[in-house]
Amino acid sequence: MRRFAVLLSLAMAVSATPARAQVGPGGPASVGVVVAAKRPVTETSNFVGRVQAVDKVDILARVTAFIAERLFTEGAEVAKSDLLYRLERAPFEADVQAKQAAVAQNQALLRNAQITLNRAQSLLNTPAGQRSTVDDREASQASQAALLLAAQAQLKASQINLDYTEIRAPMAGKIARSTVSVGNVVGPASGALTTVVSQDPMYVVFPISLRAALDLRNRYSDKGGFGGVVVRILLPDGTRYAQTGKLDYVDPSVSASTDTVNLRAVMPNPLRPGAKLGEAGNRDLIDGSFVTVTVEGSQPVQALTVPRAAVLSDQAGNFVYVVDGDKKAQIRRIQLGQSTPATAVITSGISEGDTVIAEGLQRVRPGAVVNPAPIAPAPAVPATAPPAPAPPAKG
């Protein structure tokens, strides 16, 4: 047993000793390299924006009356001039008839005044005629004509009020819920009965810093200004919106509290494939929702690029390792441009044709000799970085 215990202790000591003797002599670290080269790049800038309806109209009652009917489905889309509410019409119809009678009476009185004036004028050149009588008849005829005009104006006002008993949609759009029920009395002081929100197109409004605004201006001033950029968005769930938009407005003043200026883009908002006008969620853009806005150049430009994995960072900033003529790794400090998670755009620090280490960086030390081998070249920078795929559900 004593011999067995000694052998067991010796075996445990041997297994606990690191196998350093098995490591062979070290050589140059094998690394993957790419040649920095100019490639077509689509410049992009990302911001946070909010969807805003082009038109939003509160529906009000123009006359005071009971609501007789509500003729729309809440949350559905309505067309321009669709009948939304019908108010009680009988009092307004009676008023119109009364005003029509007043017009008819004044028309009769005007005709009589005209006949009397004609008779007085025909007698003016006879012994029975008098100038004063003609003057009186002319004044009476003119007065009666004015009364007729007043009666006609009152009839028109009554007809307008009668027309107001039918409340119609002023534009096409999606209608909100009704704030009043059938049978209630409404009037001009009742507030909004409902709201119609236009759907296609939509605005996307996003604030950017003044510095970023000046950068965009300088970057695209010689490329068509607004016409030189395309606006894309990511929906709140992270999916890319299929439609693209165009900038159409910049605020004329800068916010004093945030030093930002608002930009506005116009985005199409068509029905989703297979959706119908009356369905909920039939369009992707919803008034008031937050989206991620990407402003990108309409034409790619040539820029010096390397794989994003080749770029390292420390307290002094960004840098890459470049292989020199003696196959030694040297640090080069760089400035990044419009980059994506896959590709880095280099604005300064390296030159076209430099050999940059992109793989095996954990084995590289400044000034150390490396064994470089080429890897696939860096791809062109896409318009925007695609959203990361959702993680698989865990059962």
The 10s digit of each residue's pLDDT in 328-348 is 999 999 988 777 677 888 888
Which are the contacts of 271, defined by CB distance < 8 A and separation ≥ 6?
277, 282, 283
Do 41 and 119 lie in one domain? The reply is: no
CATH code of 225's domain: 2.40.30.170
Give the residue with greater pLDDT, 129 vs 249.
249
pLDDT per position as a tens digit, 18-57? 333 333 346 788 889 998 888 887 777 788 999 999 999 9
The one-letter amino acid code at 83 reads L
Name the E strands within 102-190.
Answer: 166-168, 173-175, 185-186
pLDDT at 394: 43
Do 183 and 269 lie in one domain? The reply is: no
Q: What is the dihedral of CA 184, 185, 188, 191, to 10 degrees?
A: -20
Residue 114 pLDDT exceeds 70:
yes
Mean pLDDT of 165-169: 94
**pLDDT category, 265, cuts 50, 70, 90?**
very high
Alpha-carbon gap, residue 366 to 8, rounded angstroms: 47
Give the residue with greater pLDDT, 394 vs 280.
280
Give the residue with greater pLDDT, 153 vs 342.
153
Contact of 137 with 123, CB cutoff 8 Å? no
**Is 8 a domain residue?**
no
Give the residue with greater pLDDT, 180 vs 342.
180
**Is 392 a domain residue?**
no
Contact of 45 with 338, CB cutoff 8 Å? yes
pLDDT at 343: 82
The whole-model pTM stands at: 0.67
Per the structure, the complete domain to which residue 349 belongs is given by: 28-54+200-386
pLDDT per position as a tens digit, 206-261? 998 888 888 777 777 777 777 778 899 999 888 999 999 998 888 888 888 888 99
CATH code of 110's domain: 1.10.287
The one-letter amino acid code at 16 reads A
pLDDT at 20: 34
pLDDT at 163: 94
> What are the helix and strand counts (H, E) for the chain?
4, 24
In the block, tokens 């369009």 appear at 283
Alpha-carbon gap, residue 254 to 274, rounded angstroms: 43
Residue 111 pLDDT exceeds 50:
yes
Residue 395 pLDDT exceeds 80:
no
Which are the contacts of 228, defined by CB distance < 8 A and separation ≥ 6?
220, 297, 298, 299
Contact of 355 with 372, CB cutoff 8 Å? yes
Tokens representing 266? 């116009």
Q: Is 225 left (phi over 0), alpha (psi -120 to 50) or beta?
A: left
Choosing from 139, 163, 187, the residue where a domain stops is 163
Please state, rounded to an integer, the average pLDDT across all residues of the chain. 83
Provide the domain count of the chain: 3
